[in-house]
Chains A and B, each alone.
Chain A
Amino acid sequence: MVLAVHLYKRLMRKGRVISLLALASVPGFVYWLAGFDSDPADQGALYSDIITNVGYTYAIAVLILTVATLREERDGGTLPYIYMRPIPRVTLAIWSIIAGIAAALTIAVGGWLATVLATLAVGADLPMTLPGLSLFVAAAVGYAAIFVPLGYLVPRSLLVGLGYIIVIESILAEVVTGLAQFSIWRISVSIYADLATVLGDEAIEALGSVSPGVGGGVLKLTAALVVGLITLTLALQRRDVL
């Protein structure tokens, strides 16, 4: 727990949090701008279209944050202070991923609250924003599960992560239907889609070939967490720290 708190505090530096919250709030900002002119009957669909498509800015914010969880310790040369502790490697891995998830969830809540404020500002129904939280939370958990280990393992982890989001999730997953099942964003959208009362056309498109479903989405995210945990544990056990 001490480790998770330490890593979380290190991630939540003021300047970083402000800029990442700004990035995560772009969907809310866009909804605020677009929502003024929208028909009240279309607000729900518009909200869903925006958070599922413009929400990639939030994905980038979560990437930047979670990849830094152990990467900064490694690059900064402070990893020995964490590694040389009487803590089993699997425990080290668990707390590191928890710290990444906690940091990502902080941004998730911020991004979601931006959409809530925007909804209030345009005078739309607040309840439609509640399922939106599931999208932000699911993405936070899913991206942390893969990007915390990625940050530890790979020197250019941010670029690789951007490649995953932009090339694999945005482009290849549309073309290669099998890949869509491995897209954290689409999995998160599938959870949201199951809970939302209204879905716009663009939100349905964002799903791709993934079917809406909370159960399936949670299962896939759990699998991602398990794979991430195993990968990070093995890396901590086998790779040189310095």
Chain B
Amino acid sequence: MTDQVIFDRGYRTYDGPRAGPSGARKAVFKEGLRRVLGLGRKARKKIFPWSLITIAVIAAAVFVGIHWAIGDIAESVGEGVPSYGGLFDFYSAISLLFIAFAAPQLLIPDRTKGVLSVYFSRPLTVDGYLSSKVAAFAALIGAFYIVPQLVLHIGLSLISDGGFIPYLTDNLDILWKVPLTTLAFVAIHGALVFPLSAVINRTGIAAAAFLGVLTAGSGIAARVAEASFPGARWVSLLALDQHPRIIRDHFFGDTVDYPAEIAGFEVWMSVVVIAVLVLVAVVFVRQRYRRLA
């Protein structure tokens, strides 16, 4: 009778610290940032996101230069050089491209490459996974909006006739207006692009669908806002991109009249629309991923 022998081939269990669910969420969050920004990936994966970021930041720096050239900040704003509120509009097309790129990158590859089951075999719930993805989206898009604003703010502080600190203290309201406006932009766009990215399996198609829906909604609302058929004014709310701008105007002063304003809605309606859309998006995406998990 031979003895049973188990040979030690060097396998070792892991004895180190275990990060648990919060560690798993942090890892998903960090991976999301890296994937969108192309960090730790080939150089060509960085071209698209970083060129958009560079354009946005350079635009802010250029405006600081123009303000400085004119000499008086109030005068330059009066002449139409964008300040804080206007900067949101200036790079809106670029920011939409960035959003159209980022959100599908966060959600779609995990599904199409079949690694969703790998994620959910870890101490990670569907809610944990999705909240990490949302956090990564918010961090990326938030930074995309806020960093140029920061460049503008610091630039204007530096060139201000009154001096750096006086300008900062005189404009403390910027420190909450810009983030709140940014939050409105992030929320409305996230509420649209996340559900699309949750059901469409190709990143390019999801991006195009996001931009198509925005364009279609704006087109419809712009034409129909003043029509007289029953319910026409409610159609004006379909221009989703207008709602964060209406909130922005509430903080920074009116620019143009948006379809919802033409239809007679107050700013709180935009807040309600954003909140409702976010809620619907959360429920929809959660349901979708619960079925997938």
| In-complex Cβ contact of A162 among B97, B219, B227, B229 (8 A) | B97
Contact between chains at B223 and A159 (CB < 8 Å): no
Give A33 to B207 CA distance when docked, in angstroms: 27
B208 within 8 A of A: yes
Contact between chains at B229 and A36 (CB < 8 Å): yes
| In-complex Cβ contact of B211 among A19, A31, A33, A166 (8 A) | A166
Contact between chains at B97 and A159 (CB < 8 Å): yes
Give A67 to B215 CA distance when docked, in angstroms: 20
Contact between chains at B227 and A158 (CB < 8 Å): no
With most chain A CB atoms within 10 A of its CB, the pick from B202, B208, B232, B235 is B208
A126-173 at interface with B (beta carbon < 8 Å) = 156-159, 162-163, 166-167, 170-171
Give A183 to B229 CA distance when docked, in angstroms: 36
How does the 8 Å CB contact mask read for B187-226 relative to A, with 1 for contact and 0 for none? Answer: 0000000000000001111011101100110011001101
Determine the chain B residues whose CB is within 8 A of the CB of A37 once the complex forms. Answer: 226-229
Give A27 to B212 CA distance when docked, in angstroms: 12
With most chain B CB atoms within 10 A of its CB, the pick from A53, A60, A63, A171 is A60
Contact between chains at A64 and B96 (CB < 8 Å): no
| In-complex Cβ contact of A166 among B97, B205, B216, B235 (8 A) | B97
Contact between chains at A67 and B96 (CB < 8 Å): no
Contact between chains at A167 and B93 (CB < 8 Å): yes
Contact between chains at B223 and A30 (CB < 8 Å): yes
**Least distance between B212 CB and chain A CB atoms (Å):** 5
Residue of B nearest to A54 (CB): B219
**Least distance between A40 CB and chain B CB atoms (Å):** 15
Contact between chains at A159 and B204 (CB < 8 Å): yes
Instruction: Given A34-B223, A34-B227, A36-B227, check contact A159 B216 (CB 8 Å).
Output: no
A105 within 8 A of B: no
A56 within 8 A of B: yes
Give A63 to B202 CA distance when docked, in angstroms: 14
Contact between chains at B223 and A50 (CB < 8 Å): yes
Give A50 to B203 CA distance when docked, in angstroms: 29
Instruction: Given A159-B48, A162-B97, check contact A53 B227 (CB 8 Å).
Output: no
Contact between chains at A23 and B220 (CB < 8 Å): no
Determine the chain B residues whose CB is within 8 A of the CB of A60 once the complex forms. Answer: 208, 211-212, 215
Give A76 to B129 CA distance when docked, in angstroms: 29
A199 within 8 A of B: no
Contact between chains at A156 and B204 (CB < 8 Å): yes
Residue of A nearest to B225 (CB): A34
B73-106 at interface with A (beta carbon < 8 Å) = 93-94, 96-97, 100-101
Contact between chains at A171 and B93 (CB < 8 Å): yes
Instruction: Given A50-B223, A167-B93, A167-B97, check contact A162 B215 (CB 8 Å).
Output: no
Determine the chain B residues whose CB is within 8 A of the CB of A64 once the complex forms. Answer: 204-205, 208
A26 within 8 A of B: yes
Contact between chains at A158 and B204 (CB < 8 Å): yes
Contact between chains at A159 and B224 (CB < 8 Å): no
Contact between chains at A158 and B205 (CB < 8 Å): yes
Contact between chains at B208 and A33 (CB < 8 Å): no
Give A230 to B209 CA distance when docked, in angstroms: 30
A57 within 8 A of B: yes
Determine the chain B residues whose CB is within 8 A of the CB of A30 once the complex forms. Answer: 219-220, 223-224
**Least distance between B215 CB and chain A CB atoms (Å):** 5
Give A36 to B96 CA distance when docked, in angstroms: 32
With most chain B CB atoms within 10 A of its CB, the pick from A26, A61, A64, A158 is A158
Binding site for A on B (CB under 8 A): 48, 93-94, 96-97, 100-101, 202-205, 207-209, 211-212, 215-216, 219-220, 223-224, 226-229, 232, 235
13 contacts between A and B (CB under 8 A): A30-B220, A30-B223, A33-B220, A57-B215, A64-B204, A156-B48, A159-B97, A159-B207, A162-B100, A163-B97, A166-B93, A166-B97, A167-B97
